Amino acid sequence: MIVVGIDPGKKTGVATYIHGKLYEMHTINAHDLPDYLDDNIVDLLVFEDSRMQSVLFTGQQLSVGQRLKIARDVGGIDLQCGTIDRWALANGIRTIGVSPKGKGGKLDRREFRAKTGWTGGSNKHGRDAALVAFPFRHAQPEAKNLA
């Protein structure tokens, strides 16, 4: 079973689990994601779906300009989430969307290694992609109705 995790954004994190083990992580440009997915085998696609969380929490006082930039960035990520859904539907791939809050907080390299056992290099985009798929890394294929 190949589970691919995606952290959408301008710099999109992609992580691949094969039979439950983290195999690789990449950071790619958002516009390269469909080609990346076309070139790889995917049984289950798990992604951080910004559309599942209507309220943004920044934890700090922001200017109007800063709030508008965040809104624009989130709108772009919402669009990317829709593109992921459409790609998966067109290719018969099962998806699971995870809200940003549901994914949990960011982990640094040390915390990430302790949780996943990954000893290779990583960046925040790849780690986020791996973390969004982590709870589903042992997913089983859906049964096919042969009747």
What is the reported pTM? 0.85
Distance CA 84, CA 80 (A): 6
pLDDT grade for 147, boundaries at 50, 70 and 90: very low
Q: What is the mean pLDDT of residues 56-60?
A: 60
Q: What is the mean pLDDT of residues 123-143?
A: 91
Higher pLDDT, 64 or 12: 12
What pLDDT is attached to residue 140? 84
DSSP bridge pairs for 22: 17
Higher pLDDT, 72 or 1: 1
Q: What is the mean pLDDT of residues 77-89?
A: 89
Residue 76 has pLDDT above 80, yes or no: no
Q: Percentage of the chain with pLDDT > 90?
A: 64
Q: DSSP per residue over the chain, as a string?
A: -EEEEEE-SSEEEEEEEETTEEEEEEEEEGGGHHHHHHTS--SEEEEE-GGG------SS---HHHHHHHHHHHHHHHHHHHHHHHHHHHHT-EEEEE-HHHH-----HHHHHHHH---S---HHHHHHHHHHGGGTTPPPPPP---
